[in-house]
Amino acid sequence: MDARDRAIAQVEDRLATLDARVHDRIDAGRLDDAQALEQQIDSLSVEMANLKALSIWPWETSTLTGFLSTLVLPILRWLLQRILARTGF
């Protein structure tokens, strides 16, 4: 488990705790701190979205795509030419 996954798990635990608090307060009819709980849930939701948006790759996806296409496409072209030459095309 990497650091991002651990952070996501921590946020999930905190959200579960807050959800339980909200349910307890609803059941007890105590909603005096509902706004504070809502702000905490919103903050954790934003944090979760940011964590999930983080790339686990050490480079941009476009860099990998460009690198692979630079290496793979010429090889595939060469293989295709060899196959076509052997079959008589």
| Threshold 0.85, pTM exceeds | no
Q: Which one is predicted more confidently, 62 or 7?
A: 7
DSSP H or E stretch at residue 52: helix 34-53
- The C-alpha torsion from 19 through 25 and 27 to 28, rounded to 10°, is 160
Alpha carbon distance 89, 85 (integer Å)? 6
Domain locations in the chain?
1-56, 58-89
Residue 39 identity (one-letter amino acid): Q
Place of tokens 């952070």: 7
User: Quick one: CA dihedral 67, 68, 69, 74, positive or negative?
Assistant: positive
Which pLDDT value is given to residue 81?
A: 94
Residue 18 near residue 41 (C-beta atoms within 8 A): yes
Question: Taking 90 as the threshold, does the pLDDT of residue 88 lie above it?
Answer: no
pLDDT digits (tens, 9 = 90+) for 44-76: 999 999 999 988 777 777 887 888 888 899 999
